[in-house]
Amino acid sequence: MSQTRHVPVMLQRCLDLLAPALQDPAHPEPVVVDCTLGLGGHSEALLEAFPTARLIGLDRDKEALRLSGERLARFGDRSTLVHAVYDELPDVLARLGVPKVQGILFDLGVSSMQLDEADRGFAYAQDAPLDMRMDQSTGIGAAEVLNTYPPGELVRILRAYGEEKQAKRIVSAVVRERENEPFSNSARLVELIRDSLPQAAKRTGGNPAKRTFQALRIEVNGELSVLEQAIPAAVASLAVGGRIAVLSYHSLEDRLVKQVFAAGAANTAPPGLPVVPERYQPRLKLLTRGAELPTEDEIAENRRAAPARLRGAQRIREDER
Residue 162 annotated as binding?
Answer: no
Burial code of 98-112, b = ≥16 C-beta within 10 A, e = fewer? eebbbbbbbbbbbbb
**Beta pairing, strands 309-315 & 284-286:** antiparallel
| 17, 244, 295, 42: CA torsion to nearest 10 | 90
CB atoms within 10 A of CB 296: 9
DSSP letters for 238-257: EEEEEEEEEEESSHHHHHHH
Residue 199 annotated as binding?
Answer: no
Residue 107 annotated as binding?
Answer: yes
Residue 241 annotated as binding?
Answer: no
DSSP letters for 119-168: GG---TTS--BS---SSTTSS--HHHHHHHS-HHHHHHHHHHHH--TTHH
Residue 272 annotated as binding?
Answer: no
Residue 40 annotated as binding?
Answer: yes
For residue 16, count CB atoms less than 10 angstroms from its CB and return exposed for 0-12, middle for 13-18, buried for 19 or more. middle
Residue 124 annotated as binding?
Answer: no
Measured distance CA(124)–CA(249) in Å, rounded: 17
CB 211 within 8 A of CB 164: yes
Measured distance CA(108)–CA(16) in Å, rounded: 19
292 φ, ψ (degrees, to nearest 5) = -85, 145
Measured distance CA(43)–CA(35) in Å, rounded: 10
Binding residues for S-adenosyl-L-methionine: 40-42, 59, 86, 107, 114
Q: Which residues are annotated as a binding site?
A: 40-42, 59, 86, 107, 114
